[in-house]
Structure 1
Amino acid sequence: MLKINQLEKNFDEKLVLNKITTEFPKEKTTVIVGPSGSGKTTLLRSLDLLVKPDSGEINFDDLQLDFSNPITKHEANELRNKTSMVFQNWNLFPNLSILDNITVAPIHVHHQDKEVAEKNAHSLLQEVGLDEYAGSFPSELSGGQQQRISICRALAVKPEYILLDEPTSALDPESEIKILEMLSRISKEGQSMIMVTHNMQFAKDAADKIIFVENGVIEYDGPKDDFFSNPTPRVQEFLQGISLK
């Protein structure tokens, strides 16, 4: 299981994460919510060291990172090999075909046999109905299609946890629905998932656990049912400001 303890992060003397302690259960979906600027994305990106915490600990099974000491390159790579990130803007390599975008990390980072990597990539593309675009380039696909490809790319390395930073925020409503349906299916298949989102309907449907962050502090950490059915006054205020679909 992935756990964090007393994580802190400052940007230009502003405390963005304030001694955050929580855990992310395996084979479950944890959704991180909160108002804009609350520290959600910083928390998510700390989990694979895209943002390096100033202090605190990350414990991932037998891997223990204590940020009071320097983190070695080997330790950082060991953590990153356990996770895979999906961003708001899909960040595909524009000069590579869709197939190569999906297989580049399995082949060159994880040293997977090319034939095996390509077979797995085609299988992922078939699942999302995009295998016919394997030889195409990202610019030839719509934004929603590219985001589905980026999720395939993240899954291709078989991460223990997939991390998603508002993956539908740049999409039109129809594309958003397709992406959320895809993520709901992945969640039901037991893929460990941690997702930052403003989409409360997805949280209501797919989350096992919800973390509500505000001003760099966790204000709620528990089951989704309690979050929606028995909200604290602050959570209730937050939910009232968001229209559930």
Structure 2
Amino acid sequence: MLKIKDIKKSFGKKEVLKGISTIFPEKKTTVIVGPSGSGKTTLLRSLDLLVKPDFGIIEFDDLKINFSEPFTNKTANALRDKTSMVFQNWNLFPNLTILQNITEAPIYVQKVNKTTANKQAHELLTEVGLDEYADAYPSELSGGQQQRISICRALAVKPEYILLDEPTSALDPEMETQVLEMLERLSDQGQSMIMVTHNMQFAKNAADKILFIENGKADFDGTKDEFFSTSSPRVKEFLHGISLN
């Protein structure tokens, strides 16, 4: 299970995270929401050290990093090995085929046998209905297809948690629906996920837990049922300003 305690981060004089503590349950989907500029993405990126917090503690099973103390690259890599990030833009390697994009990390980082890595990649592509594009290049696919491939790439390294930073924000509504349906299936299958999104319908459909961040603080931390029925004036105001359709 992934836990954080009193995570703080500043960029220059701007304090972006002001001491956030929470637990991200295993085999559950946690959705992080809040207004733009609230610190959501900084928090998400802190979980695999794309952003290094200034203060606080991350615990992941028997692994513990205290940002007030020195820690080794080995410890940092051990944390990163447990997660896989999916970004707003899919960031596929344009010079590699879809199959190569998915197998690159398993083969060259995790030292998985090429035959095994290819087999696993085809299984992932079949699951999302894109195996016919295994030998195609990213430029030959739509944005929605490329984002589904990027999720397959994240799954290929068998992470304990997938971290998703607004993965549908660059997509049109039809493509967004395709990606969200894939993520809902992963949620139903018990894949541990932490996702930053503005899509409240996805939160209603797939979230087990919701973390509402504003001004660098966690103003709500609970189940989705509690979130959507909360008496908090601020959460009500936030939901009122976002379409649930």
How high is the TM-score relative to the length of structure 1? 0.99
Q: Secondary structure at the match of 2:170?
A: coil
Unaligned runs of 5+ in 1: none
Matches within 5 A, 1:93-172: 93-172=93-172
Deviation at 1:229, TM superposition (A): 1.3
Residue identity over aligned pairs, in percent, reads: 73
Deviation at 1:12, TM superposition (A): 1.4
Match of 1:179 in 2: 179
Counterparts of 1:70 and 1:125 in 2: how far apart (Å)?
41
Match of 2:12 in 1: 12
Match of 1:230 in 2: 230
Counterparts of 1:53 and 1:13 in 2: how far apart (Å)?
14
1:9-38 per-residue CA deviation (whole Å, 9 max, x = no partner) reads 001110000011001000000000000000
* 1:46 pairs with 2:61: no
* 1:26 pairs with 2:26: yes
Deviating more after overlay: 70-79 vs 157-166: 70-79
Q: Secondary structure at the match of 2:36?
A: coil
**Partner amino acid, structure 1, of 2:150:** S
Aligned Cα RMSD in Å? 0.6
- Ranges of 4+ aligned residues in structure 1 off by more than 4 Å: none
Deviation at 1:72, TM superposition (A): 1.1
Counterparts of 1:233 and 1:140 in 2: how far apart (Å)?
47
Q: Secondary structure at the match of 2:106?
A: helix
Deviation at 1:71, TM superposition (A): 2.5
**Partner amino acid, structure 1, of 2:222:** G
**Partner amino acid, structure 1, of 2:108:** H
Q: Secondary structure at the match of 1:89?
A: coil
Counterparts of 1:113 and 1:13 in 2: how far apart (Å)?
48
**Partner amino acid, structure 1, of 2:99:** L
**Partner amino acid, structure 2, of 1:74:** K
Counterparts of 1:17 and 1:58 in 2: how far apart (Å)?
14
- Length, aligned pairs only: 245
Q: Secondary structure at the match of 2:125?
A: helix
* 1:85 pairs with 2:88: no
Counterparts of 1:223 and 1:129 in 2: how far apart (Å)?
32
**Partner amino acid, structure 2, of 1:192:** S
Q: Secondary structure at the match of 2:115?
A: helix
1:40-80 per-residue CA deviation (whole Å, 9 max, x = no partner) reads 00000000000000010000000000001122110111001
Unaligned runs of 5+ in 2: none
How high is the TM-score relative to the length of structure 2? 0.99
Counterparts of 1:229 and 1:66 in 2: how far apart (Å)?
36
Counterparts of 2:15 and 2:71 in 1: how far apart (Å)?
21
Match of 2:55 in 1: 55
1:197-222 per-residue CA deviation (whole Å, 9 max, x = no partner) reads 00000001100000000000000000
